[in-house]
Amino acid sequence: MESTKNVKSNMERKIIPIGGGLLRLGETIAIDKFIVKESGRKNPKVLFIPTASKDLPAYSVAFRRVYKKLGCQVKILRLFNKTKFSQTTVEKLITSADIIYVGGGDYDILLSMWKKHKIIPFIQSAYRRGTILSGLSAGCAVWYEYLIDSDENKKIHLKKGLGMLKGIAIPHYKTENPFPLEIRKTKTIVTAIEDKCAVIYINEHLKGSIPVTREKAFTMRHPHVKKKQVTLYFHKSR
């Protein structure tokens, strides 16, 4: 049984996946502010995990700049760092965070490095204890059971995610595009999120979308073939 001494005061489990957008250019700043506010803390501890970009230095610099301006205490977990670090150190970094934000990039690299360094159980534990999980692009899709990938011939493949959220994730979705036939045949929920749009799950239930302006998110449930727009999210305190 897990100790309760590090459980966050707010026991709601929250995941805020972001479809896409350029953080360094401020394209997602409205969503970033929302994430920080949802922590319920004045100066939340935010852990940025840029694994999917191979720990691209410029990405970490941009993230630190944006989130420090929002009043956050920012730490960065670099798994490509040649300096050896202990599992205890990594576990403490992850489980002490109020918010974990996973950067975009190559999903296969992300998953292989997380498995190699055995950090997935730490992230799952942090989530159960009340840490908010978020991320963009690959960092959006990782929280779902599956995500889609397509090769040069446009053939659709499903890849496994961590499975905190049910169904299939489609980040970088474009509203004018129909869901691929292979996806519409699956017997699970599909969630598609445009760039500069996020959705929020509370205790694994989809509660609504958070667009920067008019961006959208959609879901489709089997056996329906038409997608349904996710309604806007309004915080209960607003």
Write down the domain spans for the chain: 14-229
The CA distances from residue 86 to 49, 74, 89, 96, in Å, are 17, 20, 5, 16
d(CA 64, CA 70): 10
Running DSSP on this structure, what letter comes out for residue 178? P
User: Residue 83 is encoded by which pair of tokens?
Assistant: 């300096």
User: Residue 225 is encoded by which pair of tokens?
Assistant: 């073939």
Look up the pTM and report it.
0.90
pLDDT of residue 1: 39
Running DSSP on this structure, what letter comes out for residue 213? S
Domain 14-229, CATH 3.40.50.880 — does that match? yes
pLDDT in tens, the chain (238 residues): 344 445 555 579 999 999 999 999 999 999 999 999 999 999 999 999 999 999 999 999 999 999 999 999 999 999 998 677 788 999 999 999 999 999 999 999 999 999 999 999 999 999 999 999 999 999 999 999 998 865 444 567 789 999 999 999 999 998 766 666 667 667 788 999 999 999 999 999 999 999 999 999 999 886 656 678 888 776 544 3
d(CA 23, CA 35): 13
Beta strand 144-150 pairing with 165-173: parallel
- The residue whose two tokens read 């100066």 is 43
Burial of 51 (0-12, 13-18, 19+ CB in 10 A): buried
Q: Which of 68, 59, 210 is nearest to 77 (CA)?
A: 59
pLDDT of residue 150: 54
